Structure 1
C-alpha cells in the first residue's frame, strides 16, 4: 500500500493534520526490498492481510516527518504539485493500493482510496477563485466516480458528497478525526506572556484560516455587542484584516489581539487559558479546532451549521453563524458564570475523549482490508 505524501512538503492545514495523524497511527513497517525499507520502523504493524505501508513524496523540503514514518518515505519524480500526483505518483503506485488522504489524487485510477473532507467548492463556490473551483469540481467528480473507495470525515460530509457528486450512500465510508494531538507537548506560554495575556487575564479565543467561511467578522461583531473592553479577542491565524473583519473597516478590530502562526505547544496554552473558544464557521466537513479546545478543557461555542452539531454534540454551546447577536448572548452566559464554564469544560473533556487517533487508525485498517482484500 502506498500513501500519497504530497502534503508533507507544504505548510500544514487541518486536512494535513488528519493525514499525518492517521498515517502515524496506522503505518506498519515498509515492505522488504522496497524503497524506504533501509531500516526497521517503529509503530503499529499493519493489520493482518495488508501490505505494509510506504509513503511517496515529491521533490522539495519536507515540512514535517515524524520518526514513525521516516523510514517509509521515498521521493519520486522531478516536479511537485498537482502535476506530480497525476504523473510521478501514478507511476510509482503501479498496481499497488494508492491512499490519498487530502482530497486529491490521480484521475481515472480505480485501485485507490481517497478521503474527501467536504464539498465546499460546490456548496460555497464564492469562497474560491474560479480557476480553483473549476479544477476541484472536475477533480472531485472524477475521483468519486472512478476510485474504488471514497472516505469522508463526518455523516454531514457524506451527505454532501451524495448531494453534489452522486456517489451512493452505501459506498461512502465515514472515518472521524481526533483532537488529542494538542496534548502531546507541554503548554508554552511564552507568546501569551509577550502579548500581555499572562497572569490570568481573561480573553476569548478564535482559531482559523483566512477563509471568509470561518466567519471571523461575526466574532468581532459579537465582541463589540458584548461591550466588554476588559476581555480582548485573541485571533490565532487569519492574518488578513479585511477577511477577519468581513471586508469592513479595520476599526471593527478594536480589542483584537493577533498572534500570527503558533506552534501546537503555544496553541495548547491559549486553549487552556482562554475563557472560551468560539468557532462560528458557516461550513465544516468536520471541525477540528473545537475538539482540540475540548481536549484542553476550554468551553466551546460553535455554529449550529454543517458538521459541527454532529462533532460537538451536547458538549458545546451553539450560535447562528449569520446572527452575531446569538454568539454575543452565548459569550455573555459563559463570561458571567464560572459554574457554566466549569460544566462546559468537563463536558468537553469527556466528549473529546471518545475520539482517538488510535481508533481512527484501526477503523482505517478495517476499511482497507475490506475494500482491498489481498
Structure 2
C-alpha cells in the first residue's frame, strides 16, 4: 500500500497533535516497512524532534504554492502528481484536502470537538473554521476514526455521523516513556531541575480547560510540592497572582525547556501524577504517566476513565477539597501508590505500538 499523510503538525507541532502524527507514522514504518508512506509538508523546516525523515517520501509545495503554503494543504495537495499514486490519504488532525481523486480512499482522525463543547474558549472565527473543516472531512472521508469513545460520541452528536460509521483507535505515546532508567540518569535530571524527593506532577499547556489552578489551590495547605510542565497562557496570570497572594512560591514549580527524555525521567520521579482536566479528546499524559509507573489522579467523567482505566483515582475537577484529600491519601500511603501504579502499567499494555499499528494496518487494508 502507498499511504499519504497530512504532515503539517508532524513537522511543525512539538506537542499533542504533532506527537500523535509522529508516533503513528513511526510505528507503521516499524511494523509494516513493506508499505510506502508519503508525508505532505506545507513548508520546509528542520525538526529535531522528528529524525526519521530519511525513511519517508516528503512532498512540499512548488512554485506559487510555496507562497500560498497555508492553503496548499487544503487546495493544493490534490494537484500534486505524487498524490495520484496513493491508495489512501490520511488526514491526521481533522482535515482532508478538497478535490481528492475518487480512487483514493480517504481517512480522517478526529481528536476532539472541544470547540463545540466549550465554545467560549474559542473566537467565533475559529469555531466557524474548525466546524467547516471538520464537517467537510467527515462528509468526504471513507472512514472516520476517533481517538476515544468520548470523541466518537461527540462526532455523532455534533457532526451528525452515524456511530456505526466511526471507528475508535486509541493513540499511544513515544517509546521514551516505556523505558527503564538508571538511578544515575534519574538523579541527574532531579538535580538539574532541583526537584524535591517527593512531588505532585502535572503536564500540559497551562490553560483554563486543563484546570491547573485547581491543583494549585488543592496543594496550598498540603505538605508537598506541585511541579507544572507546560506552555503558559494568559490563564496562568491568575495562578501566579494566587501563588504570590498566599506566599506559596516554594510549593509550586514551573519547569520550562524540558526535553522528552527529561520529561520521562520526571514522570518516573514523580510521587503522583495529577490531571484534573475539564475535557480532553483522550488525555495522553495519563498514558505517559502510567507507562512510567506513576499513580494517576484524574477527572471522574468524560474520556478520563477511558484513559486511566479501572485503578486510577478519580475526582470532581471542580472540588478542591476532594482533589486535596486524594493527593494526601496517596502521599501518606506508598503501598497504595505502588498498587495503583502496577495495575496502571498493566492497563496501558493495550496502548503498545504493535497493537495500534495492527489496528491501523487492518483498517487501511480493508479499505482497499
| TM-score, normalised via structure 1 length | 0.86
Alignment pair present for 1:314 and 2:302: no
RMSD over aligned CA atoms reads 2.3
Residue aligned with 1:240, SS: coil
Tell me whether 1:243 sits opposite 2:236 in the alignment. Answer: yes
1:85 to 63, 67, 73: 73
Whole-Å Cα distance in 1 between the matches of residues 264 and 352 of structure 2?
A: 17
Name structure 1 gaps, 5 residues minimum: 28-42
> Which structure 2 residue ranges, 5 or more long, are not aligned?
none
Is 2:38 the counterpart of 1:45? no
Aligned equivalent of 1:270, options 263, 266, 270? 266
Structure 1 residues 7-16 or 103-112, which shifts more? 103-112
> 2:97 maps to which residue?
106
**Which residue of structure 2 aligns with residue 170 of structure 1?**
164
Alignment map for 1:120-131 (pairs within 5 Å): 120-131=114-125
User: What is the SS of the residue equivalent to 1:205?
Assistant: strand
SS of alignment partner, residue 310 of structure 2:
helix
- Tell me: CA distance 1:211–1:134, structure 2 relative to 1, closer, same or farther (3 Å): farther
The answer for the alignment partner of 2:335 in structure 1 is 339
Deviations 1:52-72 (A, max 9, x none): 322221222142565555232
- Indicate yes or no: 2:346 matched with 1:353: no
Higher helix share: 2
Query: Do the aligned partners of 1:151 and 1:172 also contact (CA within 8 Å) in 2?
Result: yes
Give the counterpart of 1:13 among 9, 12, 15.
15
Distance 2:313 2:115 in 1: 28
For the 8 Å contact 2:274–2:297, the answer to whether it is kept is: yes
Cα contact 2:42–2:70 (8 A) shared by 1: no
Give the distance between the partners of 1:162 and 1:248, measured in 2 at CA: 41
Cα 1:88–1:301 change in 2 (3 A) is same
Structure 1 residues 280 and 344: alpha-carbon distance in aligned structure 2, compared to 1, 3 A threshold: same
Q: How far apart are residue 113 of structure 1 and its match?
A: 0.8
The answer to whether the aligner puts 1:261 opposite 2:254 as a matched pair is no
TM-score, normalised to structure 2, is 0.87
- Distance in 1, matches of 2:187 and 2:125, equals 41
- Tell me the residue number matched to 2:140: 146
Alpha-carbon distance, 1:302 to partner:
0.5
Q: What is residue 234 of structure 1 aligned with on the other side?
A: 227
Deviation of 1:287 (Å): 0.8
